[in-house]
Structure 1
Amino acid sequence: MSRHSYIFDPAHFKIYLLLFISVFGDTKEEVRSKIFRKLETYRINNIFKTMNSLTEVQCCAQCLEEDSCVSTNFRTNSTSQNCNLNSMSPLEANVSIENSANWSVFYLDNDSWKLVFRLTAGGGTDTYEAWKNGVGTNNSDDCMMLYPPLCTSYYRHELLDEWGKWNIEQVKFALYENHTEAAYIIFNGTGSDFESWFSKERLLESSWADIIGTNQMLYFSIKGDSVLGRQFFIQEYYGGCPGDRGWTMAVSGIFRGCSFDKHPSYPGIVYAMNGTKSTYYSTGYGVADVLAVYVKFK
């Protein structure tokens, strides 16, 4: 059985459906949107309520009654304190989650944004090769979190290989530092392919206030500058290291001539702080832990 499976077995879906409709008065559509997904051998520490002697289904049913509940912990082979209600999902950046052999997490899989790619700083694999060809990536359950406790690979969803077959409306590019979103861009994904969405022409919204109104872009692409090894690269101007000005790059380590190209391990994820572009030498820059790409469907 997959470690990341639905709690509702298809053979028993009607029983669960009737249970939820009778208890909560939901329509079938509302119930489907509240189906829990299961992540085995993990436990979330963002707990606000603990209950005893419940089944898996009863534990999830209790979560549906609480507005602040988005996931549960359930401990098998226990008759006491076996159900925790959590205020956070395992997919959130600042969740506190740990590996725990006897526990499973059940979470509501109803977020409109779906993670399709996660790059971790210092992961050792070329960013573009990971994105395009899946080098150094894994799509297992352990790798689907932004800060996975056990996974040392990048996460890459198979959707990237069949991008055009999905009805993608928007794409989100996000950077995280210390478990907090540091910067983001939302793009128009309609009619895009798995690289063309990352372009100036498709910009919809960003935490960088000046990026949409900037006319001159030296680089705005996932492949970026292959000579200097700068990918997911958004750059306004090359002026020698002191004059380089832009918003973000994933640095591969091929070129280490500028201070922002030098990192303890690679890739390094560089971004402009303070909500605007940066002349990196004079206004400084941040170094993110995680680069993530999400999609939203029509």
Structure 2
Amino acid sequence: MAAMMETLDVLFVVCLTLSNIFGTSCVSKGKFSRIDGYMLSSGGPKFHYTTLSCGIRCFHNTSCLSFNYHVKTEECQFNIYSPYTKPLDVLQAPEWALYNLKRDNDWKLVFRAKAGNNLSPYHTWMGTSSPPTPVEDGCLLMTGTSNCTSIYRSHVLTTWDSESISEVKLEMYKDGNMTVNIRFNGTGSTYTNWFDHNRLIDSGWSTMSKNRTFNFFSLRGDCKRTFFVNEFYLICPKDLGWMIVIDPIVGSCPCGYDTQSDKPAFLFAQGDNVTRWENNDYGRADVLAVFIKRWLGHWNR
């Protein structure tokens, strides 16, 4: 952490101070998002800095991805991880705030839903249903145990066409561990058509590819099966697929796997290939998240 203490270039400090790195860009380099009531347990030594001074030092060091800050004692801890690279290290911590640094080439969280809270991820994504407000800071984290009773939906979904999006990524998490990862080509996409097998780049399943047969690969899916990636229907016992979000509001379906006690339910194939849904050997995630990446040169708002 010695590099954190180095004297900063005067012009760089002026630039950061004037442009306010906690809300706007400095020559399109990045900015911080603040998550109140949380910290990373993997933080380094504690220093006494103002929030701005702590942020400048973190911003200037390429190994710093976030910092913990105690709002009363003004203690600052630099982190070489972010809440998205080390979700299991995130702790609830009253009077602390976790500042996550977002640079131009970083993935940006634009949507986060939680299993079992009876809210519709599909309708919220489409903008036809408004999540409860306020949306707690815990709704920005990838652990299902964080304090979150709503769905996080970024304004980016309403300005998608002008965001210069290069890639889109959908992830699911169980107990803070990533269980699903699908990456899409976002160039020229809209917020409704990015989730398509023709845009598929790669995923955690090596068997999922553009050349595979799908009977559904869509956000809307079929009846209450949304965010649906499926290969085959042949009466319920032989339905095969990779992932489903069983929505609490959308439609109704006839199969046993559609009957989940808590909705929404985030179901996924645990092996490297499709799962037979009626066998009930699928996994259940507790968080679904969507991230975007922009072309370099387009500011990470």
TM-score range, shorter chain: 0.7 to 0.9
Per-residue CA deviations over 1:226-269 (Å, capped at 9, x if unaligned) read: 2xx10001111112222010111101255475443232310101
Match of 2:115 in 1: 121
Task: Please tell me whether the aligned partners of residues 186 and 204 of structure 1 are also in contact (alpha carbons under 8 angstroms).
Answer: yes
Match of 2:66 in 1: 71
Q: Paired residue for 2:271, among 270, 274, 298?
A: 274
Match of 1:204 in 2: 201
> How many residue pairs get matched?
272
Match of 2:142, SS state, is coil
Residue 215 of structure 1: CA displacement? 3.8
Q: Paired residue for 1:106, among 99, 107, 132?
A: 99
* Structure 1 residues 61-100: aligned runs within 5 Å: 61-63=56-58, 68-78=63-73, 82-92=75-85, 93-100=87-94
Change (3 A) 1:158 1:212: same
Task: Please tell me whether the aligned partners of residues 252 and 268 of structure 1 are also in contact (alpha carbons under 8 angstroms).
Answer: yes
Q: Paired residue for 1:190, among 182, 187, 192?
A: 187
* Structure 1 residues 113-262: aligned runs within 5 Å: 113-133=107-127, 134-136=129-131, 140=135, 142=137, 143-147=139-143, 149-226=146-223, 229-253=224-248, 255=252, 257-262=254-259
Per-residue CA deviations over 1:196-252 (Å, capped at 9, x if unaligned) read: 1111111111111111154421111101112xx100011111122220101111012
Match of 1:44 in 2: 40
Alignment RMSD? 3.0
Residue 60 of structure 1: CA displacement? 3.5
Match of 1:284, SS state, is coil
Letter in structure 2 aligned against 1:212: S
Q: 1:260, 1:150 → 2: CA distance? A: 28
Percent of matched pairs sharing the same residue: 29
Residue 35 of structure 1: CA displacement? 4.0
Change (3 A) 1:241 1:84: same
Change (3 A) 1:77 1:268: closer
Residue 284 of structure 1: CA displacement? 2.1
Match of 1:48, SS state, is coil
Match of 2:271, SS state, is coil
Letter in structure 1 aligned against 2:120: D
Q: 1:34, 1:158 → 2: CA distance? A: 18
Task: Please tell me whether the aligned partners of residues 83 and 89 of structure 2 are also in contact (alpha carbons under 8 angstroms).
Answer: yes
Change (3 A) 1:275 1:49: farther
More relative contact order in 1 or in 2 (CA 8 Å, sep 6+)?
Answer: 2
Q: Which runs of 5+ in 1 are unaligned?
A: 1-12, 21-28
Task: Please tell me whether the aligned partners of residues 45 and 86 of structure 1 are also in contact (alpha carbons under 8 angstroms).
Answer: no
Residue 128 of structure 1: CA displacement? 1.6
Task: Please tell me whether the aligned partners of residues 200 and 210 of structure 2 are also in contact (alpha carbons under 8 angstroms).
Answer: no
1:265 and 2:262 matched: yes
Q: 2:110, 2:57 → 1: CA distance? A: 30
Q: Which moved further from structure 2: 138-147 or 103-112?
A: 138-147
Match of 1:152, SS state, is coil
Q: Which runs of 5+ in 2 are unaligned?
A: 1-9, 18-24, 296-301
Q: Which moved further from structure 2: 123-132 or 206-215?
A: 206-215
Change (3 A) 1:66 1:297: closer
Q: Paired residue for 2:29, among 13, 27, 33?
A: 33
Task: Please tell me whether the aligned partners of residues 116 and 264 of structure 2 are also in contact (alpha carbons under 8 angstroms).
Answer: yes
Residue 65 of structure 1: CA displacement? 7.3
Letter in structure 2 aligned against 1:224: G
Letter in structure 2 aligned against 1:251: I
Match of 2:160, SS state, is helix
Per-residue CA deviations over 1:120-167 (Å, capped at 9, x if unaligned) read: 111212232111114326685613223373321011111112221221
Match of 2:159, SS state, is helix
Task: Please tell me whether the aligned partners of residues 257 and 280 of structure 2 are also in contact (alpha carbons under 8 angstroms).
Answer: no
Residue 18 of structure 1: CA displacement? 6.4
Q: 2:28, 2:89 → 1: CA distance? A: 25
- Give the TM-score normalised by the residue count of structure 2: 0.78
Q: Which moved further from structure 2: 133-142 or 159-168?
A: 133-142
Match of 2:45, SS state, is strand
